[in-house]
Structure 1
Amino acid sequence: MRVFPPLPPVPPAPDPGTRDLALDVVRAWSLLVVVLGHFLMLILLWDDDGVPASANTLTSGAPWPYVTWLLQVMPLFFIAGGAVNQRSFERFAGSYNQWLWNRTRRLMRPTVVFLLALAVIFTVVTLLVRREVTDPLLQGVTGPLWFLALYIPVTALTPVTSRWWARSGPWSVGVLLVGVAAVDYVRLSHVETWGALNMLLAWVLVHQLGYWYRAGVSRRMATALLLGGLAVNVWLSQVLGWYPTSLVGIPTEKFSNMAPPTIVLVMHSFVLFGGFVLLAPWLRVRFATPRAFAATTRAALFAMTIYLWHMLVLVGWLSLLHALDLDLPVRVEGGNIVPEGLNYWGWLVPSTIGFALVLYAVVRWLWPVEFLRLPWFDGATGRPSDSAWRAGIGATLVGAGLLAVAGAGFSGFPVAVHTAYGIPVSSAGAMVAIGVGLALLRQPAPARAEVGAG
Structure 2
Amino acid sequence: MRELRARWSALAAGIDTATPADRDRAVDALRALAILGVVLGHWLVTSLAAADGGLRGTSPLTHIPWLTPLTWVFQTLAVFFLVGGHVAARGYASARERGVPYTVWVGQRLGRLFLPVSAVIVLWTVVVAGMLVGGAELGTVRTLVKLVLSPLWFLLVFAALTAATPLVSRIGPAWPAAVVAGVDLWRFWLGGPEWIGWVNVAAGWLVPFTLGATWSRGALARRGRLRLLAGGAAAATTALVLWGGYPASMVGVPGAGVSNLNPPTLAAVTFGLAQCALALLARDRLARRMRRPAAWAKAALLNSSAMTVFLWHQTAMMAVTSLGLLVPARLPGLHTPPDSAGWIAARVVWLPVFAAALGLCWAAFRNHEQVRRPPSTGVPAAHSVPAASAGEFIRA
If the length of structure 2 is used for normalisation, what is the TM-score?
0.85
Aligned to 1:121: 127
Aligned equivalents of 1:72 and 1:330: distance in 2? Answer: 22
Query: Would the alpha carbon gap of residues 51 and 82 (structure 1) be closer, same or farther in structure 2, given more than 3 Å must change?
Result: same
User: Which of 311, 315, 322 is 2:314 aligned to?
Assistant: 311
Aligned equivalents of 2:86 and 2:341: distance in 1? Answer: 44
Is the aligned partner of 1:225 residue 2:254? Answer: no
User: Which of 256, 262, 270 is 2:273 aligned to?
Assistant: 270
Aligned to 2:209: 207
Aligned ranges 1:324-343 → 2 under 5 Å: 324=327, 325-328=329-332, 337-342=337-342
Aligned equivalents of 2:75 and 2:239: distance in 1? Answer: 19
Is the aligned partner of 1:155 residue 2:162? Answer: yes
Q: Deviations over 1:381-424 (max 9, x none)?
A: xxxxxxxxxxxxxxxxxxxxxxxxxxxxxxxxxxxxxxxxxxxx
Q: Deviations over 1:232-290 (max 9, x none)?
A: 1111112x142111111112421111111111111011111211111101111111211
Q: Is the 8 A contact 1:78 1:203 kept in 2?
A: yes
How far residue 11 of structure 1 moved from its aligned partner, in angstroms, is 5.0
RMSD: 2.4
User: Which of 104, 112, 115 is 1:98 aligned to?
Assistant: 104
Bigger shift: residues 124-133 or 29-38 = 124-133
How far residue 313 of structure 1 moved from its aligned partner, in angstroms, is 1.3
Is the aligned partner of 1:280 residue 2:283? Answer: yes
Aligned to 2:181: 181
Aligned to 1:382: none
Aligned to 1:110: 116
Query: Would the alpha carbon gap of residues 329 and 122 (structure 1) be closer, same or farther in structure 2, given more than 3 Å must change?
Result: closer
Q: State the 4+ residue runs in structure 1 displaced beyond 3 angstroms.
A: 13-16, 329-332, 445-448, 451-454
Aligned to 2:389: none
How far residue 308 of structure 1 moved from its aligned partner, in angstroms, is 0.7
Is the aligned partner of 1:12 residue 2:17? Answer: yes
Aligned equivalents of 1:314 and 1:235: distance in 2? Answer: 36
Runs of 5+ consecutive residues of structure 2 not aligned to the other structure: 1-10, 384-396
Aligned equivalents of 2:182 and 2:93: distance in 1? Answer: 33
Is the aligned partner of 1:58 residue 2:80? Answer: no
The number of residue pairs the alignment matches comes to 363
Aligned equivalents of 1:231 and 1:270: distance in 2? Answer: 11
User: Which of 244, 260, 263 is 1:260 aligned to?
Assistant: 263
Q: Is the 8 A contact 1:91 1:452 kept in 2?
A: no
Letter in 2 for 1:310: H
Aligned to 2:8: none
Aligned to 1:386: none
Q: Is the 8 A contact 1:226 1:272 kept in 2?
A: yes
If the length of structure 1 is used for normalisation, what is the TM-score?
0.75
Aligned equivalents of 1:329 and 1:301: distance in 2? Answer: 31
Three-state SS of the structure 1 residue aligned to 2:264 is: coil
How far residue 10 of structure 1 moved from its aligned partner, in angstroms, is 2.2
Q: Is the 8 A contact 1:110 1:370 kept in 2?
A: yes
Runs of 5+ consecutive residues of structure 1 not aligned to the other structure: 1-6, 166-171, 379-444
Aligned to 1:81: 84
How far residue 175 of structure 1 moved from its aligned partner, in angstroms, is 2.2
Aligned equivalents of 2:174 and 2:345: distance in 1? Answer: 46
Query: Which has the larger helix fraction?
Result: 2
Q: Deviations over 1:339-370 (max 9, x none)?
A: 3442x233224322222222222212321222
Aligned equivalents of 1:269 and 1:249: distance in 2? Answer: 15
Query: Would the alpha carbon gap of residues 227 and 38 (structure 1) be closer, same or farther in structure 2, given more than 3 Å must change?
Result: same
Query: Would the alpha carbon gap of residues 52 and 14 (structure 1) be closer, same or farther in structure 2, given more than 3 Å must change?
Result: closer
Q: Is the 8 A contact 1:29 1:299 kept in 2?
A: no
Q: Equivalent pairs: percent with the same residue?
A: 27
Query: Would the alpha carbon gap of residues 71 and 448 (structure 1) be closer, same or farther in structure 2, given more than 3 Å must change?
Result: closer
Query: Would the alpha carbon gap of residues 137 and 106 (structure 1) be closer, same or farther in structure 2, given more than 3 Å must change?
Result: closer
